[in-house]
Amino acid sequence: MYIYIIIGSVFLSVFVLILSLGLPVILKKSSRSSISKIAYYGKDAGRKGNEIPSFTDRVIRPFFSKVAAIVKNFSAKEIIEETKHRLALAGILDTVGIDGYLAIKLLIPFGFLVLIILEFLFINIPILYKFISLVTIPISYFIPDIFIRARILSRQEDIRVSLPNALDLLTISIEAGMGFNIALAKVADNIKGPLGEEFKKMLYEIQIGFTRREAFRNLDKRTDVPDLSTFIVSMIQADVFGISIGKVLRVQAEEIRIRRRQRAEENGFKAPVKLIFPVIFCLFPSLLTIIIGPAFIQIYTQLFRNL
């Protein structure tokens, strides 16, 4: 009887952990249109050109949606909106989605709980380790939040680094006679990384009917980078007052490069302060051992020789 409980519990815990950690990869690979999924259930089902929905679309997505619905029932609307905004800042709102993220946050502690129950039942460990294992259950709930925060910071830094080159290319393209949308599309194709993806999303919003001002504001909400926000405000003001976009872009590109140089100088000034503790705790003990060590050895040998 116990062997079946062990096998079932291990299978369930491994399944939950793999499903939770592998969901972003699975969802990222599935990019088919929803129209093709609906066609499978219509009167033309089984004909050539109609594909059967994948296992992800038929099982995994509905499962995560039901789990997320349970989490939403116990969460405030403000928390859901804040989570959605953070996923947008991390750039994974379209791939993981709010339902997938909430389901992962619920399933990871559940997987830890199953593993700890198995540990208590079949492994003889000290009480202190058992208490530490229990503490990991609520802590594991915040693992996705830590991952999202790190991804947001990394993404914002990538955008901040790519922005001066993107503005230079956009300025050259507009001064060469291109329209703003065409020049922005050229920049989006040549600038790799999060900034290029955000420019492509902005162009898509303009194509489906958003005004340029609304698209710029949505871009600001999805990135939350101070340098990019300053550029967006300047572009909106230029659009409102009819100022030449080329002049605004050239001024903004120069200001952003000055800020990047000032930020680099600031980090250079901070470097000696940050090196104090590594030098004290890592370098000085080694130097003292090398310099004073032979003297201590000689003193020790002389004392024992005299004794």
pTM score? 0.72
DSSP readout, 271-305?
HHHHTHHHIIIIIHHHHHHHHHHHHHHHHHHHHHH
**CA 117/CA 69 separation, integer angstroms:** 26
Residues 70 and 166 in one domain: no
Residues 100 and 223 in one domain: no
Residue corresponding to tokens 């129950």? 117
Residues 9 and 130 in one domain: yes
pLDDT number for residue 9: 58
Residues 102 and 204 in one domain: no
Quote the domain boundaries for residue 186. 154-270
Residue 304, domain member (yes or no): no
Which of 109, 141, 173 represents a domain boundary (last residue)? 141
**CATH number for position 204:** 1.20.81
pLDDT number for residue 195: 93
For residues 166 and 191, is the Cβ–Cβ distance under 8 A? Answer: yes
pLDDT number for residue 150: 94
What is the tally of structural domains in the chain? 2
Residues 90 and 169 in one domain: no
Measured torsion, CA atoms of residues 162, 164, 169, 175, in degrees rounded to the nearest 10: 160
Residue 246, domain member (yes or no): yes
pLDDT number for residue 188: 92
Q: How far apart are the first and last CA of the chain?
A: 72
pLDDT number for residue 280: 85
Within the chain, which residues score under 50 in pLDDT?
Answer: 1, 26-27, 29-49
Residue 245, domain member (yes or no): yes
Which of 141, 176, 195 represents a domain boundary (last residue)? 141
The CA radius of gyration of the chain, in Å to the nearest whole number, is: 29
Residues 190 and 245 in one domain: yes
Residues 6 and 137 in one domain: yes
In sequence order, what are the residues at sequence separation of 6 or more whose Cβ sits closer than 8 angstroms to the Cβ of residue 185?
A: 199, 203
Residue 292, domain member (yes or no): no
For residues 144 and 87, is the Cβ–Cβ distance under 8 A? Answer: no
